Amino acid sequence: MGETPPFLADPETTRESIMRATYLALCEHGYAGLTIQRIGESFEKSKSLLYHHYDDKDELLLAFLQFMLEEHESWVPESTDDGPRERLDAVIDAMLPPELAAEHHGFTAAMVELRAQAAHDERYRDQFAEHDRVFQAHLVDVIEDGIEAGQFRDVDAEAVAAFLGTTVAGAMTRRVTGGGDRAATTTREALESYVDRVLLADETEAEA
């Protein structure tokens, strides 16, 4: 424990340092076990300083989600070198890696917990709605590029992206709240076959 994604490795401002501490505390204790005290313990400065920068715990966590979303946006490799199919696989891989490393597990679990807060808190709901929009827009991009490149069938990209996003969200949730990794791996296989069927059906139909 103590690993962070690269953009959190060596924070330069105090706020970045707080984001890092929040990340670490979330991974270690989950949202349910997250207290200001615990964030303070992963923080080189004092606990009360958190209140100097953020009004309250919720504002801090919302800011954390916003921060992660922004970093995530500026982090997507955008490797247009590969073909559309490879790019699509890469996106799914990023959200649903075949083997969930121990450190990633804590963070994934915490994100599932955080998302659940959206069920009764509008601010979280807005935040995750935006997150979903960004993720889905990315999927739409990849799919439409594939269509223009003549590699994918001329499907409704929005609809396919929404479906993929929903299924991936379900698999992420199940992976950490139920049957374990098997839920994720079988979902990946099923998605492969779905993509084959729906997006690459040209060849399949040609075979028929």
Partner DNA sequence: CCATGGTGATTGAATGTTCAGTAAGCCGGA
Partner DNA sequence: TCCGGCTTACTGAACATTCAATCACCATGG
Q: How far apart are CA 93 and CA 66, in angstroms?
A: 22
What angle do the packed helices 102-117 and 14-29 form, to 10 degrees?
100
Q: Does 47 interact with DNA (rule: CB under 7 A)?
A: yes
Give, in order, the Cα–Cα distances in Å from 195 to each of 27, 122, 127, 185: 32, 34, 29, 15
Q: How far apart are CA 189 and CA 185, in angstroms?
A: 6
23 interface partner picked from DNA, a copy of itself, none, CB below 5 to 8 A per type: none
* 8 Å CB contact between 188 and 96: yes
Q: Does 200 interact with a copy of itself (rule: CB under 8 A)?
A: no
Q: Strand (E) positions, the chain?
A: none
* 8 Å CB contact between 60 and 54: yes
Output 46 or 204, the one with its CB closest to DNA: 46
Shortest distance, position 107 Cβ to DNA, whole Å: 19
Please, which of residues 82-111 interact with a copy of itself by CB under 8 A?
A: 109-110
SS3 (DSSP) at 80: coil
Q: Does 173 interact with a copy of itself (rule: CB under 8 A)?
A: yes
Give, in order, the Cα–Cα distances in Å from 205 to each of 145, 153, 198, 201, 202: 22, 11, 11, 6, 5
Output 80 or 166, the one with its CB closest to a copy of itself: 166
63 interface partner picked from DNA, a copy of itself, none, CB below 5 to 8 A per type: none
80 interface partner picked from a copy of itself, DNA, none, CB below 5 to 8 A per type: none
Q: Which stretch binds DNA (CB under 7 A): 27-35, 79-87, 141-149, 157-165?
A: 27-35
- Of 30, 31, 57, 167, the one binding DNA (CB under 7 A) is 57
Output 40 or 165, the one with its CB closest to a copy of itself: 165
Binding site for a copy of itself (CB under 8 A): 29-33, 109-110, 112-113, 115-121, 124-125, 128-129, 131-133, 159-160, 162-163, 166-171, 173-174, 176-179, 183, 186-187, 189-190, 194, 197-198, 205, 208
